[in-house]
Amino acid sequence: MCVSHKSALLKVLYDEEKTPTDDLTFSEVLEQMRTVLDEEYEQIPQLSSSHALDVSTPFTVVGGEGTKRALLIGINYIGQNGELSGCHNDALRIKKYLMDVYGYEEENFTYLMDNGVYDDPTYDNILAAFDDIVAKSEAGDSVFVHYSGHGGFLADDSCDEEDGKDETLIPVNYTEAGQIRDDTVFNRLVLPMADDVTLTCLMDCCHSGTILDLPYKFKAGMGESVMSLQPGFRFDNFFRKIGLSDEE
């Protein structure tokens, strides 16, 4: 499952470090996020999923009784063109939310930030962190991945995108190492994750709505009440990625 727009999410679910008095459904959370964003931005919050999630059920990022793990990535691109200022703080606010609301424990957090305190969010370090959290997770666990930084797109190099573009994450060393394509995120984080692990990704960056290459979506403010298939989604390509034939 992938949700976009961190600041609006926290405004709805953890404003002033307080949780709502009533449980909100997935659709209610996204609709309220849209109201928050309408004050300053034109972005539309989007939820994507590997299956048609029932958006009328209560919002949660925990799906089992196992270990809860989190990978928090915040990139300010200090001293580079396009420098940002709030991404480290974003990651730490998400950490507090996960600990206070869902009981995540400090020992199960991994951090990548370009602040001189944690390992840098380089191309290789991000992919290594994906590999590590996949290797540690097993059925019943819940995994939360937060990315706050720049996003972009490149020309599709695998002919699996309807719009001809791969969405990307932009690591701190992108000028030397390049951008991380959505296909790579899928192959290193989504595809190898063990069955029955609840994986939630919060991608706070441009072009983040389809960064996980998942088939189903829900957009706030569009008059939708259920998740729908991504327009032009190619299940033949999706099946090929996960090692199945069209017949299977």
pLDDT per residue as tens digits for the range 185-225: 999 999 999 999 999 999 887 755 567 888 899 988 788 88
Provide the residue type at 242 as one letter: I
Is pLDDT of 54 > 70?
yes
Please tell me the distance from the alpha carbon of residue 81 to that of residue 170, in angstroms, as a whole number. 12
Closest-CA residue to 204 (of 75, 112, 118, 104)? 75
Q: Which residue has the higher pLDDT, 231 or 91?
A: 91
Instruction: Select from 162, 217, 223, 214 the least CA-distant residue to 191.
Output: 214
pTM of the model: 0.89
pLDDT at 31: 92
Q: Is 205 part of the annotated catalytic residue set?
A: no
pLDDT band at 237 (very low <50, low <70, confident <90, very high): low
Q: Is 146 a catalytic residue?
A: no
Give pLDDT, residue 245.
47
Average pLDDT (39-54) is 82
Task: Rank 8-22, 134-148, 159-173, 231-245 by mean pLDDT and report only the highest.
Answer: 134-148
Summarize the confidence of residues 91-112 as an average pLDDT: 96
- pLDDT surpassing 70 at residue 153: yes
Average predicted confidence (pLDDT) for the chain:
87
* Span 127-139, average pLDDT: 98
pLDDT at 211: 79
Mean pLDDT for the stretch of residues 69-89: 94
Catalytic residue, chosen from 5, 146, 150, 207, is 150
pLDDT at 50: 87
State mean pLDDT over 119-126.
98
**What was the pLDDT predicted at 150?**
92
Least trusted range by pLDDT, from 79-83, 88-92, 146-150, 239-243: 239-243
Write down the pLDDT at residue 98.
97
Query: 4 pLDDT exceeds 60?
Result: no
Is residue 195 a contact partner of residue 51, using CB atoms and an 8 Å limit? no
Q: Are strands 180-181 and 109-113 parallel, antiparallel or unpaired?
A: unpaired
pLDDT score of 96: 96
Nearest CA to 200 among 18, 70, 61?
61
Burial of residue 146, with CB atoms counted within 10 A of its CB: 0-12 exposed, 13-18 middle, 19 or more buried: buried
DSSP, residue by residue, the chain:
-EEE-HHHHHHHHSGGG---SSPPBHHHHHHHHHHHHHTT-----EEEESS---TTSBP-S--SSS-EEEEEEE---TTSTT--SSHHHHHHHHHHHHHHHH---GGGEEEEESSSSSB---HHHHHHHHHHHHHH--TT-EEEEEEES-EEEEE-SSS--TTSEEEEE--TTHHHH--EEHHHHIIIIITTSPTT-EEEEEEESTT-TTTT--SEEEETTSS-SS-EEPTT--HHHHHHHTT--S--
Strands 198-204 and 142-148: parallel
